[in-house]
Structure 1
């Protein structure tokens, strides 16, 4: 499978994304968000879809750079609530999104149970690919 059109172009470590990643059609998944869910144009706010790679305060060992350039998603809302409990600064909202082939390439990763990494595309953006197939399912005030 040839993987192209990724967010960071060709700027990935070798073997990244992994050869066993795949595209899915209509898979409900959950993501923790810290920013407003919608932007001023009433689209999903891309600020909630920034890989941890872009956090300049963090450093990643070579073996973690591939996953750091991916977006984290979980299989259940409960998985996200656990993350919020363990890392309160990560965000206070959870959205359910329907991942589709236009979103990118997915793989179950070992960070936590039910954790998946998604290497998203540059075009369309993840916000455009998801479109209106999302729902806010939790917000801590």
Structure 2
């Protein structure tokens, strides 16, 4: 499968050791249920980032557990109102690299992660 941005990636991006990912991960979103805006990369959202971080800016950020998502949310003021939402990521969504509970996922083309939100988590989070 082709990556989201085709061949428009820096050298060695994604890293050669990035691999298919399977599992439930937490994405910090603006709302619950999330919208397509919650699944934009830094590049798609036209956010600023250092040029050396272009590879990471073309990936989506997830956390392997809710505790790590909340820890990051509380550390950065711009994330304080975000809501952790569980997404079931499977190998045909892209390739990823997980380090210390943080996942960078470089998506394949045509993937809509909104279709992979864990519904029972959403209902529980809204109570």
Give the shorter-chain TM-score range.
0.7 to 0.9
Matches within 5 A, 1:60-139: 60-62=50-52, 64-90=53-79, 91-109=81-99, 113-128=100-115, 130=116, 132-134=117-119, 135-136=121-122, 138=125
Per the alignment, do residues 73 and 81 of structure 1 end up closer, same or farther by CA in structure 2, a change over 3 Å counting?
Answer: same
Paired residues, number: 123
In structure 2, distance between residues paired with 1:95 and 1:118: 16
Per the alignment, do residues 121 and 57 of structure 1 end up closer, same or farther by CA in structure 2, a change over 3 Å counting?
Answer: closer
What is the DSSP-based 3-state SS (H/G/I as helix, E as strand, rest coil) of the residue aligned with 1:51?
A: coil
**TM-score, normalized by length of structure 2?**
0.82
Query: What do residues 89-126 of structure 1 show as CA deviations (whole Å, max 9, x unaligned)?
Result: 224211111110121111124xxx31110001221333
Q: Which of 20, 25, 38 is the aligned partner of 1:48?
A: 38
Per the alignment, do residues 104 and 46 of structure 1 end up closer, same or farther by CA in structure 2, a change over 3 Å counting?
Answer: same
In structure 2, distance between residues paired with 1:59 and 1:92: 20
> How far 1:8 sits from its partner (Å)?
1.2
**TM-score, normalized by length of structure 1?**
0.75
Q: Which structure has greater helix proportion?
A: 2
Extract unaligned runs of 5+ from structure 2.
none
Task: Please list every run of at least 4 consecutive aligned residues from structure 1 whose deviation after the TM superposition is greater than 2 angstroms.
Answer: 35-38, 53-57, 88-92, 124-128, 132-139
What is the DSSP-based 3-state SS (H/G/I as helix, E as strand, rest coil) of the residue aligned with 2:20?
A: coil
Per the alignment, do residues 125 and 6 of structure 1 end up closer, same or farther by CA in structure 2, a change over 3 Å counting?
Answer: farther
